């Protein structure tokens, strides 16, 4: 086992189980803590149940399945779930306070088509059967900008291979970042595998947000601070 918690060999292809970043922030308010205790068990994503039939996690069998990895405060996931009641949404986020915010949206909006996990999105990818998903979102992942930190980035060749496996043919991986280096990092790794292709034909295709994108707090902060996001769509071939 290497010093970074990986097995030997290609560090991007070896299993990488350590999850970096914060797991909790300021103390939860009473209502948030109550939802963690009572609502979270009702909407928790059961990894064991994913393998045979992920659609069976929902009270009404959804027409489509979508995964958002690292949903932050849940603004985008909740908005899409409300707009697409016939779609089942799987959300993964390690940050407890973000989970608490999404639970509040689930409760106030009466969302029944969301299942979530406080944890690592790679665990969900590993548990899903082949071709299970119609779409995967990865919005503004931690860029780990310092050179020595880049091995912590979730986007690597093993991650992309897992994405390609669980997406249906024609399914989409949608990735947004306001960090130019992370955009280039991701495009370079997409180019080295043949399961996903970049759909852009002109620069405007990745400069403009997707029509159904709901802005997150992080995106609004990036725009206020003058950082220009890129919106990338990759199709499963």
27 within domain boundaries:
no
The CA distance from 175 to 234, in Å, is 8
The CA distance from 77 to 23, in Å, is 19
Say which of 86, 120, 142, 194 is annotated catalytic: 142
* Residue 172 in tokens: 């989409």
Question: Which range marks the domain in which residue 149 is found?
Answer: 32-236
116 within domain boundaries:
yes
159 within domain boundaries:
yes
106 within domain boundaries:
yes
137 within domain boundaries:
yes
113 within domain boundaries:
yes
Residue pLDDT, tens place only, 3-29: 333 333 444 444 444 655 455 567 899
Instruction: Report residue 158: phi and psi, to 5°.
Output: -65, -40
Active site residue 142: yes
Which pLDDT does position 22 carry in this prediction?
52
Instruction: Report residue 79: phi and psi, to 5°.
Output: -65, -45
Domain count for the chain: 1
Instruction: Report residue 99: phi and psi, to 5°.
Output: -60, -45
Residue pLDDT, tens place only, 33-48: 999 999 999 999 999 9
**Sites in the chain below the pLDDT cut of 50:** 1-17, 21
Cα angle for residues 132, 136, 142 (degrees, 5° grid): 140
CA torsion, points 201, 207, 210, 216, in degrees to nearest 10?
Answer: 150
186 within domain boundaries:
yes
In CATH, what number is assigned to the domain containing residue 42? 3.40.50.150
């Amino acid at each position: 086992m290497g010093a970074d918690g990986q097995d030997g060999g290609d560090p991007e292809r070896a299993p990488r189980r350590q999850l970096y970043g914060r797991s909790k922030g300021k103390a939860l308010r009473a209502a948030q803590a109550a939802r963690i205790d009572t609502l979270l068990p009702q909407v928790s994503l059961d990894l064991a149940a994913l393998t045979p039939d992920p659609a069976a996690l929902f009270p009404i069998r959804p027409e489509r399945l979508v995964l958002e990895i690292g949903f932050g405060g849940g603004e985008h996931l909740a908005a899409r779930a409300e707009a697409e009641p016939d779609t089942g949404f799987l959300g993964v986020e390690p940050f407890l306070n973000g989970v608490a915010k999404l639970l509040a949206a689930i409760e106030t909006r009466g969302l029944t088509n969301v299942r979530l996990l406080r944890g690592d999105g790679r665990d969900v990818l590993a548990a899903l059967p082949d071709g299970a998903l119609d779409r995967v979102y990865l919005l503004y992942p931690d860029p780990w900008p310092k050179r020595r930190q880049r091995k912590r980035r979730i986007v690597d060749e093993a991650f992309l291979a897992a994405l390609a496996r669980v997406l249906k043919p024609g399914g989409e991986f949608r990735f947004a970042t306001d960090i130019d280096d992370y955009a280039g990092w991701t495009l370079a790794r997409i180019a080295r595998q043949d399961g996903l292709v970049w759909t852009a034909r002109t620069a405007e295709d990745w400069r403009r947000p997707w029509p159904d994108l709901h802005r997150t707090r992080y995106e609004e902060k990036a725009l206020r601070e003058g950082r220009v996001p890129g919106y990338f769509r990759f199709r499963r071939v």
